Amino acid sequence: MEETRNRLSLTPVLLLTAILACAGCGKEPAGQNAAAKAGGPKPIVVGSFLSLTGPTATFGRTTQQGIALAVQERNAAGGVSGRPVQVLFRDNQGKTQETGTVVERLITADHVVALLGEVASTQSLTAAPIAQQYGVPMISPSSTNPAVTQVGNMIFRTCFIDPDQGYAVARFAYDNLKARKAAVLYDQRQAYSVGLRDAFTGWFKKMGGTITAVEAYSSGDSDYSAQLGRIRDGHPDVIYIPGYYTEVGTIAIQARNLGLKMPLLGSDGWESPKLTEIAGNALDGCYYSNHYAPEDDSPQSKAFVAAYRQAYGTTPGALAALGYDAANLLFDAMTRAQSLDGKDLAQAIAQTRGFVGVTGTITMGPDRNPKNKSMVILEIKNGQPTYVTRIQPPDEK
């Protein structure tokens, strides 16, 4: 009797474990490149950690596609100094704990020579100290928080930084939209959003505008009526929402329902097809700053857009372009580096001058950020982001 009871109670537990194990199988990170399996010279292994699943998955996936395209083109053209390049993509599920584990494993178990990642600054800030500690160069394609590259001499980026991005939106709001009163609604859980809040409010006040309210939300919130109500009290001309696309769409709908009709302004975190899918037409007539517009008519951009369309069937966004640029910049540095040792490679990346990428010409500054990268402002028209203007970073900091 006793035995039967034990078996009975164990059955469901075993069943659940079995199903759970199966569920785990499906989540293994994307496979390795085919290049490694072919004979010939040993491939150069680069690690990439991205949020391929999770709340900001479209960031990770488009970046991955950009990097993969760069690798494919490079290997087709003979690789780096005769050796093929292999990129190991690892998923961090958009979680900081996971980023730490994944990066550590890429360095110690897979022995990668360099790291490419992440999009979200919070994730890059988790990975950077690890890369720095092990002396592995890391290039973040699109983390815009200034603190990322301040971690140490191994950490680089290929995008502009938030103080400049905040400036661009403030400049656009003040000059082009003639806004004099602005409110800010930011995500208190994201280093990225907090940094942009400070940059925007600082510049907007310096230009002569007034900030009527600064309100916070947390990633994953769904009701914003309290914050929007407080914002409405100040009657701002624009509302700056430097958040991620996951929440911005809902915020826009609720703002419109509460009768807030002014333009909403945003940052590169808005960049996702999901944005207007969630918002519907609530975001029409709103603007955001970005790294790149597919309408750009430089030859590099045209070639990239064509190749990307052929490979994936969609028009590349800014994150794909930045992933592509980051990978190519790394390959370029590899050909110039004395060896693929962390120190030599980092030195070669730091010496990058006039690298012509899709998102602009990159010259690494002493702070390991690209110098003077310009920004584009996009307007959402009928659910489609369209190019409005290009803004240069400020002369004074």
Partner 1 sequence: MNDLFQTFVAGLRLGCIYGLVALGYTMVYGVLRFINFAHGDIVMVGAWLCFIVARAMHWTGFTAHPPLYAAAFVLLISMTACALLGWLTERLAYRPLRRAPRLNVLIAAIGVSLFIENAGQLRFLFGTEPQAMPSLLPRAQTALITLLGVRITVLDVVIGLLAVGLMIALDILVFRTRLGLAMRAVAFDDAAAALTGVPVNRVVGMTFIIGSALAAAGGFIFATEYHNLQQPAEMSWILLGLKAFVAAVVGGIGNIRGAMVGGLLLALLEQFGGRYVSNDLRDVYVFAILILVLLVKPGGIMGAQVTEKV
Residue located via tokens 């980051």: 326
Residue 234 near partner 1 by CB under 8 A = no
Distance between CA atoms of residues 15 and 17, nearest Å: 5
For partner 1, which residue of 118, 162, 164, 247 counts as binding (CB under 8 A)? 247
Residue among 81 and 257 whose Cβ is closer to partner 1:
257
For partner 1, which residue of 258, 340, 350, 388 counts as binding (CB under 8 A)? 258
Residue among 215 and 325 whose Cβ is closer to partner 1:
215
Pick the stretch among 76-84, 98-106, 128-136, 252-260 that binds partner 1 (CB under 8 A): 252-260
Residue 237 near partner 1 by CB under 8 A = no
Closest distance to partner 1 from the beta carbon of 24 (Å): 8
Pick the stretch among 47-55, 66-74, 143-151, 331-339 that binds partner 1 (CB under 8 A): 47-55
Q: Write each residue from 359 to 378 as x if it is in contact with partner 1 (CB under 8 A), else as -, in one continuous string.
A: --------------------
For partner 1, which residue of 3, 4, 21, 26 counts as binding (CB under 8 A)? 26
For partner 1, which residue of 246, 267, 300, 359 counts as binding (CB under 8 A)? 246
Residue 57 near partner 1 by CB under 8 A = yes
Distance between CA atoms of residues 157 and 396, nearest Å: 21
For partner 1, which residue of 58, 65, 212, 369 counts as binding (CB under 8 A)? 58
Residue 227 near partner 1 by CB under 8 A = yes
Q: HEC profile for the chain?
A: CHHHHHHHHHHHHHHHHHHHHHHHHCCCCCCCCHHHCCCCCCCEEEEEEECCCCCCHHHHHHHHHHHHHHHHHHHHCCCECCECEEEEEEECCCCHHHHHHHHHHHHHCCCCCEEECCCCHHHHHHHHHHHHHHCCCEEECCCCCCHHHHCCCCEEECCCCHHHHHHHHHHHHHHHCCCCEEEEEEECCCHHHHHHHHHHHHHHHHHCCEEEEEEEECCCCCCCHHHHHHHHHCCCCEEECCCCHHHHHHHHHHHHHCCCCCCEEECHHHCCHHHHHHHCCCCCCCEEEECCCCCCCCHHHHHHHHHHHHHHCCCCCHHHHHHHHHHHHHHHHHHHCCCCCHHHHHHHHHCCCCEEECCEEECECCCCCECCCCEEEEEEECCEEEEEEEECCCCCC
For partner 1, which residue of 70, 179, 182, 278 counts as binding (CB under 8 A)? 278
Pick the stretch among 20-28, 103-111, 114-122, 190-198 that binds partner 1 (CB under 8 A): 20-28
Closest distance to partner 1 from the beta carbon of 353 (Å): 39
Residue among 196 and 329 whose Cβ is closer to partner 1:
196
For partner 1, which residue of 250, 298, 361, 372 counts as binding (CB under 8 A)? 250
Residue 30 near partner 1 by CB under 8 A = no
Give every CB contact of residue 230 below 8 A, 6+ residues apart in sequence. 213, 215
Pick the stretch among 22-30, 171-179, 235-243, 298-306 that binds partner 1 (CB under 8 A): 22-30
For partner 1, which residue of 53, 72, 363, 389 counts as binding (CB under 8 A)? 53
Distance between CA atoms of residues 85 and 79, nearest Å: 6
Q: 333 near 91, Cβ under 8 Å? A: no
Q: Write each residue from 164 to 203 as x if it is in contact with partner 1 (CB under 8 A), else as -, in one continuous string.
A: ------------------------x---------------
For partner 1, which residue of 30, 32, 54, 202 counts as binding (CB under 8 A)? 54
Q: Which of residues 77-106 bind partner 1 (CB under 8 A)?
A: 93
Burial code (b: 16+ CB inside 10 Å, e: under 16) for 328-350 equals bbbbbbbeebeebebebbbbbbb
Residue 314 near partner 1 by CB under 8 A = no
Residue among 78 and 229 whose Cβ is closer to partner 1:
229
Distance between CA atoms of residues 78 and 312, nearest Å: 22
Which residues bind to partner 1, rule: CB under 8 A?
A: 8-9, 11-13, 15-16, 19-20, 23, 26-27, 53-55, 57-58, 93, 188, 215-217, 219-223, 225-227, 229-230, 233, 246-247, 249-250, 253, 257-258, 274, 277-280, 383
